[in-house]
Amino acid sequence: MKMIKAGRTSLVVVMSLFLALFAAGCGYHIAGKAGQMPGGVKSLSIPVFANNTGKPDIESIMTTAFVEEFVTTVNVFDDADALLAGVVKSYSLKAVSFTKDDINQEYRLTATLSLRLVRRDTQEVLWSDENVSDYEDFIVNTEDVAATEEAEIEALRKLAVDTARVVKERMLENF
């Protein structure tokens, strides 16, 4: 009887070890936390994005979000292996919800970027997407224009952070 229990215990231990080794080798990881930059890039320069919209200063918010996101993965400095060039192509606000009196109560902010990751020494394009687009909704304060403007800026900051995260994940996954 003791021999059977010992055999079952050994089998359970062996199966547990096998499953642990199998799970460790199957390649699962959290998006954006594994993988490599295209072309084996180890350092990255992210100059201030160009702004082709009529909205002032959005390029600095976008660029800051990208620097803060990529600094966790690669060294970010001016004289780097590669350059991530960005252009804010469009910025729009569209009313998305109204009160029963037909007063706007929520806007959708949409921004579209063009991004290119270029190796500095060869000028080879390692990754690009001409139409990276995202949106963020925010509430209108009909009593306070300044509060609505601040809500728009916060929506832009959130959009920029989310977009930078998604772009980095796509780069690391070679997508």
Tens digit of each residue's pLDDT (9 = 90 or more) over 45-73: 999 999 999 999 999 999 999 999 999 99
The predicted pLDDT at position 3 comes to 52
Separation of alpha carbons 158 and 122, rounded Å: 34
Residue 127, C-beta contacts closer than 8 angstroms, at least 6 positions apart: 38, 115, 116, 117, 170, 171
Judge contact between 101 and 63, C-beta under 8 A.
Answer: no
**Quick check: 124 pLDDT over 70?**
yes
The predicted pLDDT at position 34 comes to 52
Lowest-confidence region among 30-34, 80-84, 158-162: 30-34
Mean pLDDT calculated for residue range 123-145: 96
**H or E element in which residue 168 lies:** helix 145-172
Judge contact between 25 and 123, C-beta under 8 A.
Answer: no
Separation of alpha carbons 95 and 76, rounded Å: 38
Amino acid making up residue 10: S
* Cβ neighbours, 10 Å, residue 106: 14
Residue 113, C-beta contacts closer than 8 angstroms, at least 6 positions apart: 49, 62, 86, 87, 88, 89, 132, 133, 163
- Mean pLDDT across the chain, nearest whole number? 85
Separation of alpha carbons 55 and 10, rounded Å: 68
Separation of alpha carbons 94 and 77, rounded Å: 37
Question: What's the distance, Cα to Cα, between the start and end of the chain in Å?
Answer: 57
Q: Which domains are present in the chain?
A: 2-172 (3.30.160.150)
